[in-house]
């Protein structure tokens, strides 16, 4: 998985003493930046409002998933709440381990999941690998979030994160709302669903690629420091490792 950050790598020459100024001059620059930060906050609020106002699509198709609680339908996954967030994790049948970048995102899930149920939100992760393969990798990584298998159903294909052998041969797939060159038979995404009082389920939102950037709390921390994300512009996230694979 690759989340495009479009932030150039900071060269050492850019971190130099010429940037050092008096406290008074620093305060002027900081207040100017604060104006821009407030503009961004207001714009983010406006975009979020438009997201909430998107029309919904009723989900009529039946999906049966296998998880730690046995067989469950999409409606079952709400677990008594009205809102469901599903992260589409790149772990296909027969893979030795999950995508390292999806794993980077997944390291942030358990913390948020302490709080989401108190805002009427259930969170779940779904992959196409069989459940035993999912559980083996989850145990290795030490995660606690609910992770289910869509092996044997069309869920991943219908939400455009898994692709068939025929699509691979054609070399083109529909991903992130446009036709793109084939990269992998599994790609990342996130989908949101709502269940009404009558048990009807609706698809309200999906996002892919850099739309997933907001999930990465580590990036929010890195954006605060002088070097920023400090990534290679041509190969973002090449520095990322599964958390049990970093050098000590």
CATH number of the CATH domain containing 181: 3.40.30.10
Q: Indicate whether 20 pLDDT > 60.
A: yes
Asked if the structure places residue 148 within a domain, the reply is yes
Q: What pLDDT, on a 0 to 100 scale, did the predictor assign at position 225?
A: 94
Distances (CA, A) of 93 to 52, 145, 188, 196, 222: 34, 20, 15, 33, 34
Asked if the structure places residue 80 within a domain, the reply is yes
Asked if the structure places residue 226 within a domain, the reply is no
Q: What pLDDT, on a 0 to 100 scale, did the predictor assign at position 45?
A: 97
pLDDT tens per residue across span 204-244:
999 999 999 999 999 999 999 999 999 887 778 889 999 99
**Run of H or E residues at 203:** strand 201-208
Asked if the structure places residue 156 within a domain, the reply is yes
Q: Indicate whether 10 pLDDT > 70.
A: no
pLDDT tens per residue across span 151-175:
999 999 999 999 999 999 999 999 9
Asked if the structure places residue 204 within a domain, the reply is yes
Asked if the structure places residue 176 within a domain, the reply is yes
Tell me the pLDDT band of 136, cut-offs 50, 70 and 90.
very high
Q: What is the side-by-side order of every strand in the sheet holding 147-149?
A: 57-58, 201-208, 189-195, 83-88, 121-127, 147-149, 64-67, 70-73
- Tally of domains within the chain: 1
Asked if the structure places residue 220 within a domain, the reply is no
β-bridge pairing 147-149 and 121-127: parallel
Tell me which of 82 and 248 has the higher pLDDT: 82
Phi-psi region of 154 (alpha: psi -120 to 50; beta: other; left: phi over 0): alpha
Neighbour tally for 42: CB within 10 Å? 10
Average pLDDT score over residue span 16-42: 92
Closest CA to 6 of 239, 229, 240, 238: 229
Q: What pLDDT, on a 0 to 100 scale, did the predictor assign at position 13?
A: 42
Rounded distance between C-alpha atoms, residue 248 and residue 244, angstroms: 9
Rounded distance between C-alpha atoms, residue 92 and residue 104, angstroms: 17
Q: What pLDDT, on a 0 to 100 scale, did the predictor assign at position 51?
A: 97
Q: Which residue's entry shows tokens 């605060």?
A: 224
Asked if the structure places residue 132 within a domain, the reply is yes
Query: First CA to last CA across the chain, in angstroms?
Result: 24
Main-chain dihedrals φ then ψ at residue 56, nearest 5 degrees: -110, 155
Are 93 and 130 in contact by the 8 Å Cβ rule? The answer is yes
Tell me which of 222 and 1 has the higher pLDDT: 222
Tell me the pLDDT band of 182, cut-offs 50, 70 and 90.
very high
Q: Which residues of 130-158 are buried (b: 16+ CB within 10 A; e: fewer)?
A: ebebbeebbeeeebeebbbbbbebebbee
Tell me the pLDDT band of 21, cut-offs 50, 70 and 90.
very high
pTM flag (> 0.85): yes
Burial class from Cβ neighbours inside 10 Å (0-12, 13-18, 19+) for residue 174 reads exposed
Which residues lie across from 124 on neighbouring strands? Answer: 86
3-state class (DSSP) for residue 143: coil
3-state class (DSSP) for residue 168: helix
Q: What pLDDT, on a 0 to 100 scale, did the predictor assign at position 14?
A: 58
Structural domain for 109, as ranges: 58-215
Rounded distance between C-alpha atoms, residue 220 and residue 211, angstroms: 14
Rounded distance between C-alpha atoms, residue 220 and residue 213, angstroms: 9
């Amino acid at each position: 998985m690759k989340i495009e950050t479009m932030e150039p790598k900071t060269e050492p020459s850019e971190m130099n003493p010429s940037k050092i100024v008096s406290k008074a001059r620093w305060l002027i620059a900081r207040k100017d930046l604060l104006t821009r930060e407030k503009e961004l906050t207001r714009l983010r609020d406006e975009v979020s409002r438009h997201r909430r106002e998107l029309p919904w699509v009723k989900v009529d198709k039946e999906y049966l998933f296998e998880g730690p609680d046995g067989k469950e339908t999409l409606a079952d996954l709400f677990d008594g709440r009205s809102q469901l967030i599903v992260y589409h994790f790149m772990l296909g049948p027969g893979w030795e381990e999950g995508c390292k970048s999806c794993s980077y995102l997944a390291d942030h899930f358990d913390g948020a999941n302490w709080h989401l149920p108190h805002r009427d939100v259930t969170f779940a992760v779904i992959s196409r690998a069989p459940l035993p393969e999912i559980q083996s990798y989850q145990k290795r990584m030490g995660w606690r979030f609910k992770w289910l298998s869509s092996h044997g159903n069309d869920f991943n294909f219908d939400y455009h994160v898994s692709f068939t052998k025929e699509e691979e041969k054609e070399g083109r797939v529909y991903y992130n709302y446009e036709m793109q060159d084939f990269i992998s038979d599994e790609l990342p995404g996130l989908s949101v669903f709502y269940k009404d009082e009558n048990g009807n389920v609706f698809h309200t939102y999906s996002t892919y690629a850099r739309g997933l950037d907001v999930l990465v709390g580590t990036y929010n921390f890195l954006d605060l420091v002088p070097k920023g994300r400090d990534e290679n512009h041509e190969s973002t996230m090449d520095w990322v490792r599964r958390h049990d694979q970093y050098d000590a």
